[in-house]
A = this chain, B = another copy of it.
Amino acid sequence: MPAQGRVERRGSRVPAEVGLTQLRGIAQVALSSSPWTGLLFTVGLFADSWRIGVYGLLGAAASALAAAVLGADRRGLANGLEGYCGCLTAIAVVVRLGASWRTAVLAVLAAAVCAVVSAAAGRLLGRAGLPALTAPFCLVAGALAIALPPAAAAAAPPAATDRFTTLSATQLGHAFCNGVGQVFFLDKWYAGLILLAGLLVASRTAAVAAACGSAVAILTACSLGLPADRISAGLYGYNAVLVAIALGATFLTLTPWTAGYATLAAVASVPFTAAWQAFAQPSGGSPFTWPFVVTTWLFLAAAPALDRPGISFEKAK
């Protein structure tokens, strides 16, 4: 993930640095290293539920602390790269298992394991020139989700129909906002809007990419005839939002070619997400952000082999 923010070390302002690291850790969920983005993201988490806010902060702190104790790279740590997977993992724990001392300990340990998995992913994927993205979170949270299923089993998602799904205006609005909100497991539309504002603070391109990603996902999901209530809940959108931010505003230089390339990737992420949900459902699992991770890896790995402005980024070097 990008190291946009410069880390400034002024004298002994350790508490301020820790706070910045914490906020950057939360911002990195959407590939940003701006503490302002992190601040607004945190507001969005608490706007949805105080439990999600507390566990998010706890997970990011636990993961960063574990990375510091284990002696991980200090630059990445200061940029929040050691926080975002722990943050998401802890939120996944509280959303599934509820808040208690027991799940808090579990969230802290899982976040610590995220730090190790992030280091491993960084080394293994670095050889192929690929970023780790949220893969460590997906792996750790995925294992926990299947090992410790919630009391009530999730209902099987209804199958796609062979007709275009139509949405009411309210459903459409909810689908758009929740597509952004579900990046953090948020299911209140205004929380999604706060996240979007958080993106806007750091980069107009990222915010526009996220909005376009959510819109593209709704259109694709409706074309595939996927169920309206799940589209409205943002369940097909969050991966497309992240794909659009990653390819449209982060790892590739923005050109008309890149915009089309990112759009194709966002479109592809929707059936991929639907497939992963259907596949993981019987064992109580969830796709989390695997569809985003795999789609982005494939489109980034393909880029240098393609000869179009903005896409073949490695050739420019």
Bound state CA distance, A146 and B143, in angstroms?
21
Q: Contact between A275 and B117 (Cβ–Cβ < 8 Å)?
A: no
Bound state CA distance, A201 and B146, in angstroms?
39
Give A109 Cβ to nearest chain B Cβ, in Å.
7
Q: Contact between A305 and B72 (Cβ–Cβ < 8 Å)?
A: yes
| A298 on the B face (CB < 8 A) | yes
| A7 on the B face (CB < 8 A) | no
Task: Report the stretch among A22-30, A181-189, A265-273 that lies at the interface.
Answer: A265-273
Bound state CA distance, A139 and B145, in angstroms?
24
Give A268 Cβ to nearest chain B Cβ, in Å.
5
| A59 on the B face (CB < 8 A) | no
One digit per residue, 1 when the CB lies within 8 angstroms of any chain B CB and 0 when it does not, for chain A 104-122 equals 0000010011001111101
Chain B residues with CB below 8 A from A144, complex form: 271, 275
Chain B residues with CB below 8 A from A283, complex form: 278-279, 282
Chain B residues with CB below 8 A from A268, complex form: 109, 113
Task: Report the stretch among A44-52, A210-218, A248-256, A307-315 that lies at the interface.
Answer: A307-315
Bound state CA distance, A305 and B284, in angstroms?
34
Bound state CA distance, A148 and B122, in angstroms?
34
**Interface bin, chain A:** 35 or more
Chain B residues with CB below 8 A from A271, complex form: 143-144, 147-148
Chain B residues with CB below 8 A from A312, complex form: 71
Bound state CA distance, A145 and B297, in angstroms?
21
Q: Contact between A128 and B122 (Cβ–Cβ < 8 Å)?
A: no
| A102 on the B face (CB < 8 A) | yes
Kindly identify, within residues 255 to 296 of chain A, every residue whose CB is under 8 Å from any CB belonging to chain B.
261, 264-265, 267-268, 271-272, 274-276, 278-279, 282-285
Instruction: Select one of B102, B267, B298, B311 contacting A109, CB under 8 A.
Output: B267
Given A127-B128, A264-B112, A275-B144, answer yes or no on A119-B282 (Cβ-Cβ < 8 Å): no
| A155 on the B face (CB < 8 A) | no
Chain B residues with CB below 8 A from A279, complex form: 146, 283, 285
Chain B residues with CB below 8 A from A128, complex form: 123-124, 127
Q: Contact between A73 and B301 (Cβ–Cβ < 8 Å)?
A: no
| A159 on the B face (CB < 8 A) | yes
* Chain B residue at smallest Cβ distance from A291: B143
User: What would 29 A/B residue contacts be, using CB atoms closer than 8 Å?
Assistant: A70-B311, A71-B306, A71-B307, A71-B311, A72-B306, A73-B305, A112-B264, A113-B268, A116-B306, A117-B302, A119-B302, A120-B298, A120-B301, A120-B305, A122-B305, A123-B128, A123-B301, A123-B305, A142-B275, A144-B275, A145-B275, A146-B275, A147-B271, A147-B278, A148-B224, A149-B278, A279-B283, A279-B285, A282-B282
